[in-house]
Each structure stands twice: as C-alpha cells, then as structure tokens.
Chains A and B, each alone.
Chain A
Amino acid sequence: SQQGEEDPQALSIQEGENATMNCSYKTSINNLQWYRQNSGRGLVHLILIRSNEREKHSGRLRVTLDTSKKSSSLLITASRAADTASYFCATDGAQGAQKLVFGQGTRLTINP
C-alpha cells in the first residue's frame, strides 16, 4: 500500500540546532500531514500542507512539499528538549481520503 517513508529513522541533535526530517511517498496525494508522538502517548497533529502548496509555516515549524519528487520535509528551528518525540508524515491519495497512511516515523532526540 502507499506509504510515506521518513528519513532518517533517528536523529540526535543539540538543543538550539535545527532538525530536518524528510518524507517520501509513492502516489499522488490531496494533502500531506505531519504528526508528533511523545513517548507513551497518542499522535498530535502538527501541520497539513495541500498538494497545491509548496511551503507552510507554523511557529518554529516549516514544511515543504515537492509533488514532482513526491517528497516533503519538516524543519524544526531552534530545537528544544520538549521537541524530543517521534515525527510521522501521513498521506491520503489513491486509496482515498478516508484511509490516511502513516510512515514509520523519525525518532528525534534533543540533547540539552
């Protein structure tokens, strides 16, 4: 089935640095979403970017979408310890908007 694949699988950086995570997918989409999951908790929606958008900002988050390459990136600027979490991209598309498909996630660790 279509699936977003995040890269890298794990990322460890120092507090204050920027963190970039990438997501690739296989078929055309209507939108792409990013979620965060803290340890032992459910996922929390961060940002949605539509297929006709190329870049979107929300606070310290910047998301880009390149539909020609079927890829997206999530940039977290000025990282904080509280940003330590797993980050997932999710896509709809050929399988329909009712079946949101998640990638395997990037585990981000922010070192103080």
Chain B
Amino acid sequence: NAGVTQTPKFQVLKTGQSMTLQCAQDMNHEYMSWYRQDPGMGLRLIHYSVGAGITDQGEVPNGYNVSRSTTEDFPLRLLSAAPSQTSVYFCASRLSGTVNSPLHFGNGTRLTVT
C-alpha cells in the first residue's frame, strides 16, 4: 500500500518558470490538500479538494493552481515561480465523510526558486 506519493522529491526552478507538483493516493480518499512548510511558519494550507471536480482555496492560494479530475490525483501548478515559493510542499489526504479522520501525508517536494 503506497499511501500518498509525491513527485518529484527535489526541484530547482528559475524565476518565472512553471511546473507541476504531482500527488497521488491509493487509499480512495475523497479529501486531498496541499500544504507548504517554511521554517518558523509551520504548515500553511494552499488548496484543498473534497472530491473529484471540487477544489477550494486555503490560507495561501496565490500563485498556485489546482485541479481534481480523478479521486487519486491532485496536482499543484506553479504558473510563474517566484523566490517566495521556495519551500517544502506536502500533499495530504483523508476520508472526507468524517471530521475525525486523520490526514495522511506524502514525504514532500523540496522546491528551490532562484
């Protein structure tokens, strides 16, 4: 059981480049989300989805796009990378039907924007 898989593990971009961070889960979880983790800031929610075709903004959505065409996948797109987007990005999923189900995290993508 793979759980939540994130690719790539590491990425270096130049300012203005675009890229997509991939996230896939094999647990049939309806809820998926993206967080970024910065030193001293904890984790901040970027976008989330409660099911295929449904997405919504979190605390820090600017500069990021998401879509949810399947239950399994929830890619995060950076359209024009900025140095402020240098961070570690985590994808997480859980069952959507109850507020008490825990989040399952991937191992993260470490992104550096120069």
Contact = CB atoms under 8 A, between A and B. Distances in A.
Interface in B31-47: 31, 33, 35, 40-45
Nearest to B58: A99
A6 B30 CA distance: 30
Interface in B69-114: 90, 92, 99-100, 102-108
A100 B103 contact: yes
Contacts of A41: 107-108
Given A3-B42, A99-B58, A103-B42, A30 B105 contact: no
For chain B, what secondary structure do more than half of its interface residues adopt (helix, strand, loop), or is it mixed? strand
Nearest to B49: A98
User: Range of interface residues on chain B?
Assistant: 20 to 34
Given A98-B56, A100-B45, A104-B42, A42 B107 contact: yes
B99 A42 contact: no
A50 B42 CA distance: 22
Most buried by A among B44, B45, B50: B45
Given A42-B105, A42-B108, A30 B99 contact: yes
B105 A99 contact: no
Given A48-B100, A99-B48, A101-B45, 19 more contacts: A1-B59, A40-B107, A41-B107, A42-B106, A42-B107, A42-B108, A43-B43, A43-B92, A50-B100, A92-B99, A97-B99, A98-B31, A98-B50, A99-B45, A99-B58, A99-B59, A100-B103, A101-B59, A104-B42
